[in-house]
Amino acid sequence: MRTVFHENLDELNGQLAKMCGRAGVAMKSATHALLAADLSAAEQVITAHDQMVGMRSDAEQAAFALLALQQPVAGDLRAVFSAIQIIADTERMDALAVHVAKIARLRYPEHTVYGEVSDCFAEMGRLAVGLGESAQQVLLTGDPAEAAHLREQDTSMDDLYRRLFSLLMSPSWDHGIAAAVDTALLGRFYERFADHAVEIGRRVVFIATGALPPEDDISTY
């Protein structure tokens, strides 16, 4: 029975890693749609979210089956409960990419962002994709030290988020109120995407060590 349990748990972890990878790809496509005013790319991100919802449902059923049929204890129980949390994080990451794509679609055929703001979002997109890939990798390896490095990438995202607001508050801002609202919302979507990736790292540390690090201290593990 324990062999079957661990095989099923490994399969569930594989599902989570795949979901995380898809979220990263979605944010990459959404960023392209945003920067290039690409309606087709935006629509593809939005439509593909239904697949992520289906994957979430399948993963949740697999996790609940492990709880109901295998009665895990100790470390195994931590792994299953953490998986349930991670399922929600990965689906939310994908949903945040959808939000970016929807703003790009709303403003089409016009570009949503310009100049230095556009450069900032290009870098935020790059970081978001990297965080998605890193989170996918730590789900596959279960390495708490590797998981801790997610916080470092998130710090760079936070720096860019603050930079966005400095641009919005600058007296030289001349793109109007609608663009300012779009910029503030988009920045929040990217920042929250990064936060969810870091939360996945925290859960991996918890599975491996039995201790859930404080949100601001994950990089010490």
Q: pTM here?
A: 0.91
What is the span of the domain harbouring residue 29?
Answer: 2-220
Domain count, the chain: 1
How far is residue 217's CA from residue 211's CA, in Å, rounded to a whole number?
12
Packed helices 150-169 and 115-141: angle between N→C axes, nearest 10 degrees: 160
Tokens of 51: 């697949």
pLDDT in tens, 93-130: 999 999 999 999 999 999 999 888 999 999 999 999 99
Question: What CATH number did the domain enclosing 14 receive?
Answer: 1.20.58.220
pLDDT in tens, 58-80: 999 999 988 887 666 777 888 89
